[in-house]
Structure 1
Amino acid sequence: MSLASSHRPKTAALIVAAGRGVRAGGDIPKQFKPVLGQCALARSLALFAAHPEVDLVQPVIGTADDALYAELANAPAAVLPPVTGGATRQASVRAGLAALAHYKPDVVLIHDAARPFASPALVSRAIQAGCRGPAVPGVPVTDTIKAVDGAETVEATVDRARLRAVQTPQAFPFQVIEDLHARAAAAGRDDFTDDAALAEWAELSVEVFAGEPGNTKLTTPDDFTLAEARLLAALADVRTGSGFDVHAFGPGDHVILGGHRIPHSQGLAGHSDADVVLHALTDAVLGAIGSGDIGFHFPPSDPKWKGAASDQFLAHAVELVKAQGGLIAHLDATVICEAPKIGPHREAMRASIAKITGLSIERVSVKATTTEQLGFAGRREGIAALASATVRLPWAAA
């Protein structure tokens, strides 16, 4: 049953994300619920898409989840388009296998999207084991396990030395697991809770290789709370950055502030759209990670940025933070001008900035002040903005 070969096996990862996850609470399936700004499915897709030994990544989603996937999965370009799953996990895996059959992989890893903490090393071990035959990651059980009867009375103490808590990704030679699913479907069996159970049903040997205690599954609200705490603990390098920008008034009938269009008797002059708020925020984020300033990344001498929308500048700074494994914790901007009045537009600006950065609106602050008619702003010659950004990075990025 093993795949004896001198070349690297063609490996596919099948990410199962079609369940509803009702025990997690909320109004969307748990795999789409944010965990520090990124849902579990997005984290799982990113893990396998970036792994050098994985050639194909096939997500399987629920029948009504196309919009959620498009909005929240943030799938890397290498990920295949999602396919629709079925009413059971087994049916969903079968749909994913059917989609992958065209690519003829040697090995397939079947992974629950709600396990976002699997490591690249675990994926490598799964591939190696899958070349040998059906295999699952498992960790020793450390608690004492009791068998009970219907009245919740202890019947026996189970020998935990022989027990393993099984995880995903579970690994199989592709043809083996495809055949097993076809046999189970033909037999009317659609009740297996994991793929190793099919191999057991077919009386095949299933290897248990080393899993990871940290490869936990998100099931309940408490699991999500613990997951966020775990991620925050890993992002202990807290940094702040500041930004400032100013643009003079010029001809026009509106200004753009924070990505939001505000009618005004004048416009703002600048090489791009002269959005002082987004420019200041971009510099604040870049400053927090020590990555120069907006002029370094988007030089005004480059005609490419003539009239450009400034949302792409801030979005680029956000991606640089993500590339370092970090996240933006908070953004704060202060607009300095006599006119236009910022108050009526404050919430729209906050919402725009939150959308550009992927932050919740509670993590975005917009304030406004005047200079009591002093200086260029007081003389209504232009608008300035101050900004600060709080960024969390892993210590390894320091």
Structure 2
Amino acid sequence: MTSPASFPPGAADRVAMLIVAAGKGLRAGGGLPKQYRKIGGTPVLRRTIEAALACERVSCVVVLIGEDDGTHYADCIAGLADPRLRPPATGGDTRQQTVLNGLRALDDFAPDIVLVHDGARPFVSAKVIAASIDAIVTGHRAAIAAIPVSDTLKRADGESGAILGTVERSGLYAAQTPQAFRYSDILAAHERAASEGLASFTDDAAVAEWAGHTVVLTPGETGNIKITTAEDLRRLDSESATREQRMDMETRVATAYDVHAFEAGSGVILGGIPIPHDRALKGHSDADVVLHALTDAVLATICDGDIGHHFPPSDPQWRGAPSDQFLAYAVDRLRQRGGRISHLDVTIVCERPKIGPHRETMRARIAEICGTPLHRVSVKATTSERLGFTGREEGIAALATATVRLPAEDDELPAQGARA
């Protein structure tokens, strides 16, 4: 066994997280794998992915999905634009094979540390994830989140149910995930186990133990539960509304304005959809004035700059870029803060093209980009009665308003006498 040794400073910056979600989850019922069932209107797996991305120390996330679950997964992550979320990998026939597939999928990324987490544990906190990372950074080869066993444990006869004795619970812990490893160590252990035909390990920590690595415990949390049954889903769905009611939430509203001039062309992009026209809109990206205004409005709710700050027109990579990625990015930034969209409203100001025939398609596309229900998106249009640059058909303007809900933050006022 290799003895523990701390990473040199700055040498453990690449942290990958594998989310295991390739199972069928049949015990949860409903005809849909449990990871795609919803709690409080949000798929379990999406909550898990968002929890992983909420930890800024996680450099990339790869989700392991079932071979036939591509459509379910695409629906689940609609609107998530965090660049750390890499394309999913396909799982295997067993959990052990699934994790090995995920480890191999990280070959090009070559992380220093890899975390393995259950897709059905959607309430893992950034604190638990960070503690797992810290265990490896400080010199351990493998670590698992765990909590002390608090219930009295009984050993019983499997057939009759008769109690055979009471198990001493001192020193016993209930294992959770994430489980953390040095990437090179756990990949080598899994490859060796596969080559030797060993496929009965119940988790990755057991693979690491078999390979000769000491596994340490890191603090888990009672809220980091694993969803297993239909009753788990019903209970958590019922509790989600109560949980949000108990949280100290605040409402924020922000407005934004954008305008783009016309240039020669044969169509415009508005609200994420192409609309035929005798001219095009001029801009560094696709010049979607609607999505640009919405992006600025969403970013403003979290005081996070504007579209030009995050996607500067001086950067050639955004030349001709579709603006849906800008809005999805802004919404993802909001969600990383624990926020959610209450309502989006946009007013388009132009003489032509006519917006009415495209309004509902535009609403649906904006809702899809933002991963929010259609009834939370409003699109309106007006002319300027032939006045001004829009009246002269020199361009199109858009005014957007975003209303969001965010966890309330303590107000910290500067000390008296402080100067900005």
- The two structures have a TM-score, normalised by structure 1, of 0.69
For residue 139 of structure 1, report the CA deviation from its aligned partner: 1.0
Which residue of 114, 119, 132 maps to 1:113? 119
- Report whether the alignment pairs 1:92 with 2:105: no
Task: Find the counterpart in structure 2 of residue 19 from structure 1.
Answer: 23
Task: Find the counterpart in structure 2 of residue 221 from structure 1.
Answer: 233
Task: Find the counterpart in structure 1 of residue 67 from structure 2.
Answer: 63
- Report whether the alignment pairs 1:289 with 2:297: no
Contact 2:20-2:116 at 8 Å conserved across structures = yes
1:125-179 Cα shifts (integer Å, max 9, x gaps): 4356564465432212344556666689673665555542210122456547844
Matches within 5 A, 1:245-264: 256-263=269-276
Task: Find the counterpart in structure 1 of residue 145 from structure 2.
Answer: 137
User: Cα distance 1:101–1:314, how it changes in 2: closer, same or farther (>3 A)?
Assistant: closer
For residue 340 of structure 1, report the CA deviation from its aligned partner: 5.8
Contact 2:48-2:124 at 8 Å conserved across structures = no
Task: Find the counterpart in structure 2 of residue 7 from structure 1.
Answer: 7
Contact 1:32-1:40 at 8 Å conserved across structures = no
Contact 1:140-1:165 at 8 Å conserved across structures = yes
5+ unaligned residues in a row in structure 1: which ranges?
none
For residue 221 of structure 1, report the CA deviation from its aligned partner: 2.8
User: Cα distance 1:141–1:314, how it changes in 2: closer, same or farther (>3 A)?
Assistant: same
For residue 354 of structure 1, report the CA deviation from its aligned partner: 2.1
User: Cα distance 1:292–1:105, how it changes in 2: closer, same or farther (>3 A)?
Assistant: closer
Alignment partners' CA distance in 1, 2:374 and 2:118: 30
1:183-208 Cα shifts (integer Å, max 9, x gaps): 5874x653443234457789997544
For residue 353 of structure 1, report the CA deviation from its aligned partner: 1.3
Alignment partners' CA distance in 2, 1:106 and 1:247: 45
Alignment partners' CA distance in 2, 1:358 and 1:196: 35
Which residue of 199, 203, 221 maps to 1:212? 221
Task: Tell me which amino acid in the other structure corresponds to 2:365.
Answer: S
For residue 388 of structure 1, report the CA deviation from its aligned partner: 2.1
Alignment partners' CA distance in 2, 1:308 and 1:296: 16
- Report whether the alignment pairs 1:349 with 2:362: yes
Contact 1:146-1:154 at 8 Å conserved across structures = no
Alignment partners' CA distance in 2, 1:106 and 1:293: 34
For residue 376 of structure 1, report the CA deviation from its aligned partner: 4.1
Task: Find the counterpart in structure 2 of residue 393 from structure 1.
Answer: 406
Task: Tell me which amino acid in the other structure corresponds to 1:4.
Answer: P
- The two structures have a TM-score, normalised by structure 2, of 0.66
For residue 215 of structure 1, report the CA deviation from its aligned partner: 2.2
For residue 124 of structure 1, report the CA deviation from its aligned partner: 4.6
User: Cα distance 1:121–1:385, how it changes in 2: closer, same or farther (>3 A)?
Assistant: closer
- Report whether the alignment pairs 1:239 with 2:252: yes
Contact 1:45-1:79 at 8 Å conserved across structures = no
Contact 1:184-1:190 at 8 Å conserved across structures = yes
Q: Percent identity?
A: 47
Alignment partners' CA distance in 2, 1:304 and 1:108: 30
Contact 1:42-1:75 at 8 Å conserved across structures = no
Alignment partners' CA distance in 1, 2:321 and 2:142: 53
Task: Find the counterpart in structure 2 of residue 195 from structure 1.
Answer: 204
For residue 393 of structure 1, report the CA deviation from its aligned partner: 3.0
For residue 239 of structure 1, report the CA deviation from its aligned partner: 0.5
Tell me how large the CA RMSD over aligned residues is.
5.2
Task: Find the counterpart in structure 2 of residue 43 from structure 1.
Answer: 50
Task: Find the counterpart in structure 2 of residue 363 from structure 1.
Answer: 376
Contact 1:46-1:75 at 8 Å conserved across structures = no
1:333-352 Cα shifts (integer Å, max 9, x gaps): 34567876544322211122
Contact 1:260-1:352 at 8 Å conserved across structures = yes
Which residue of 126, 132, 140 maps to 1:126? 132
Secondary structure of 1:168's partner?
strand
Tell me whether 360-369 or 84-93 shows the greater mean CA deviation: 360-369
Query: Aligned pairs, how many?
Result: 390
Secondary structure of 1:388's partner?
strand
Alignment partners' CA distance in 1, 2:317 and 2:235: 46
1:30-55 Cα shifts (integer Å, max 9, x gaps): 4466775881453365367x427x7x
User: Cα distance 1:58–1:3, how it changes in 2: closer, same or farther (>3 A)?
Assistant: farther
Secondary structure of 1:138's partner?
strand
Contact 2:249-2:408 at 8 Å conserved across structures = yes
Contact 1:33-1:39 at 8 Å conserved across structures = no
Contact 1:31-1:40 at 8 Å conserved across structures = no
Contact 1:235-1:394 at 8 Å conserved across structures = yes
5+ unaligned residues in a row in structure 2: which ranges?
412-420
Secondary structure of 1:169's partner?
strand
Alignment partners' CA distance in 2, 1:104 and 1:282: 33
Alignment partners' CA distance in 2, 1:298 and 1:127: 31
Alignment partners' CA distance in 2, 1:104 and 1:307: 32
For residue 331 of structure 1, report the CA deviation from its aligned partner: 0.9
Tell me whether 114-123 or 73-82 shows the greater mean CA deviation: 73-82
